[in-house]
Amino acid sequence: MKSNWKVLALIAILSSAVTLAAYNLLGFNKRDVVFNESSSIPAITGRLASLNGPTAAPGDFSTAAEAVTPTVVHIRTTISRTVRQQQVPDIFREFFGDEFGGGGRPRRQQGQASGSGVIISKDGYIVTNNHVVQDADVVEVIMTDKRSFKAKVIGTDPLTDLAVIKVDATNLPAITLGDSDALKLGEWVLAVGYPLDLESTVTAGIVSAKGRGIGILSRQQQGEQPDPKADTPIESFIQTDAAINPGNSGGALVNLRGELVGINSAIASATGYYSGYGFAVPVSLVRKVSADLLKYGNVQRGYLGIMPIELNSTIAKEKNAKVGRGIYVEKVVENGAAQAAGLKQGDVIVKMEGQPLDSDAQMREIIGRRRPGDAVTVTINRDGSERDVKIELRNRNGGRDIIKKSEVTAANTALSSLGAELTELSAQEARQLGVSGGVRVKSIRDGKLAETDIEEGFIIVKANGKNVKTVKDLQAIMNTVQEGEGLMLIGMYPNSSRMYYYAVPV
């Protein structure tokens, strides 16, 4: 039942309320955005880095609703993608030619989608979900007073499903950032947004749970252990029973003082519409991610450098752990932050920054608020005794420096040009197929692969004559391809031992 619940949550991401084409915003690949060096950014990051006082005194729902509604905007996007028409059987093509049904040739299709956003500064910076603006050709922001602006995407972060956009306006009503850590179970909250393409809508509910990980952003859907050096989604949602629906994505979750405590992102539903629970990214993460996107153009992540396993009584018995709750250290990354601080395989992290640690989602959220070079204090249980250890987080390269957006963009541009969602084979799948590893084309949305005959499910085992076991292998190979050169992909389809060869223009 638990795994089924995650599947229901996964299909219920709040992407669009109105579509002219049958596609899902979560399915598109990353888009490159330009960091806007603005003189107003220092002031904004300062605002994001500190708590502000309430804009409205505690009271009934109307006080918070009146204060917040003008700060929540309607976002409409226009998105183009390449689609392939159905391949025509040879017998029909012989009589009617390739124009009959399109002959499998790609064509461009345009669609529209709808979501919400929250104004965080008077000069036009707005926080929303990544999946609301991802790959959009045009982003339009409509205020509660009906004014409309074209918006520029400043930065996106798929790993937290957050994005910052900017409109050219001044003296806008800006929301006050609250404290999601201070939220209590059962506390009243309001969800404000534009569900189902309606006008501004306010609903009320309570905080049902905190630190909820639902697997909706995770790429590890096959049960494999995550790569401790890889970027992994940060899911530590606030769960609420305030009614939210498609179109609420990117809208505000606020307390009764009118302070932002979360950005509404997903629902748990078998139908895609509200059926009891919604999930919001806590403002603790919103504050840090937004500040990074504004200051650096990309999110600066600190890494602990361990392979974590969330303990329960069963796993604790299997691992011979002395405690039944916490994060078991399955592996310590060589030359990583944890190794430098003295952590060892078999240690159990029971506290982080003084907070009892019960879940992997909770740990990732605490670390997700910090940057390389920041220190975190962890309490570990080693062989039954506890000790405090201070760990200085490192960047993805093992250092403490800021990683510039240009470095990240250069590494990802070539791979993203394929326009596909890629997943790595598990060890079990590789054994069953008789290969040492490979990368599966899970879905094709746009880009270079949409212009070939490659079908979803294709497993890449070689690229330009080199073995491909991981997505990073494929990325490294593509980064060596010069402009005008091609990419030869070799692989197979499930249930077939035949090898297929595809030439991909790059």
Question: Domain boundary at 295, 320, 349, which?
Answer: 295
Question: Domain boundary at 270, 295, 320, which?
Answer: 295
| 408 sits in which H/E element | helix 405-416
In a domain, 48, yes or no: yes
Residue 38 has pLDDT above 80, yes or no: no
Clarify whether 131 is annotated catalytic: yes
Model pLDDT for residues 406-441, shown as the tens digit of each residue: 555 544 556 777 888 888 888 888 888 888 899 999
What's 424's domain CATH number? Answer: 2.30.42.10
Q: Please state the length of the chain.
A: 506
In a domain, 129, yes or no: yes
Question: Domain boundary at 244, 275, 295, which?
Answer: 295
Number of neighbouring beta carbons within 10 Å of residue 501: 9
Same domain, 237 and 380: no
- The residue type at 248: N
Model pLDDT for residues 43-85, shown as the tens digit of each residue: 444 444 334 444 444 457 999 999 999 999 999 999 876 655 5
Model pLDDT for residues 98-136, shown as the tens digit of each residue: 444 444 555 667 788 899 999 999 999 999 999 999 888
Cβ proximity of 424 and 224 under 8 Å: yes
Angle 84-7-130 (CA atoms, 0-180°, nearest 5)?
Answer: 60
Query: Collapsing DSSP states into helix, strand and coil, what is residue 203?
Result: strand
C-alpha to C-alpha distance for 108 and 79, rounded to whole angstroms: 10
- The residue type at 348: V
Q: What is the pLDDT of residue 479?
A: 77
Cβ proximity of 375 and 393 under 8 Å: yes
Q: What is the dihedral of CA 333, 336, 341, 345, to 10 degrees?
A: 0
Residue 277 has pLDDT above 80, yes or no: yes
User: Residues comprising the binding site for substrate?
Assistant: 131, 161, 247-249
User: Residues comprising the binding site?
Assistant: 131, 161, 247-249
Residue 15 has pLDDT above 80, yes or no: no
Residue in 123, 135, 157, 161 annotated catalytic: 161
Same domain, 196 and 65: yes
In a domain, 412, yes or no: no
Residues 6+ apart with CB under 8 A from 202: 61, 65, 68, 69, 190, 191, 192
Clarify whether 74 is annotated catalytic: no
Q: What is the pLDDT of residue 171?
A: 95
Average pLDDT, the chain: 80
Residues 6+ apart with CB under 8 A from 322: 348, 381, 383, 384
Q: What is the pLDDT of residue 412?
A: 53
Same domain, 290 and 316: no
Same domain, 165 and 118: yes
Model pLDDT for residues 446-488, shown as the tens digit of each residue: 778 888 889 889 999 999 889 999 888 888 888 777 766 778 9
Model pLDDT for residues 295-332, shown as the tens digit of each residue: 988 888 889 999 999 999 999 999 999 899 999 999 99
C-alpha to C-alpha distance for 376 and 125, rounded to whole angstroms: 30
Same domain, 214 and 282: yes
Clarify whether 292 is annotated catalytic: no
Same domain, 338 and 478: no
Model pLDDT for residues 153-205, shown as the tens digit of each residue: 999 998 899 999 999 999 999 999 999 999 999 999 999 999 988 899 999 99
Token match 């008789």: residue?
A: 434
Residue in 15, 121, 123, 131 annotated catalytic: 131
Same domain, 354 and 451: no
pTM surpassing 0.85? no
Query: What's the structural domain count of the chain?
Result: 3
In a domain, 300, yes or no: no
Query: Collapsing DSSP states into helix, strand and coil, what is residue 389?
Result: strand
Q: What is the pLDDT of residue 107?
A: 63
- For the ranges 26-30, 40-44, 186-190, the lowest mean pLDDT is seen at 26-30
Backbone dihedral angles phi then psi of residue 374, each to the nearest 5 degrees: -75, 150
Task: Quote the domain boundaries for residue 134.
Answer: 2-295
Residue in 249, 265, 269, 417 annotated catalytic: 249
Cβ proximity of 150 and 140 under 8 Å: yes
Helices and strands in the chain: count of H runs, count of E runs: 12, 25
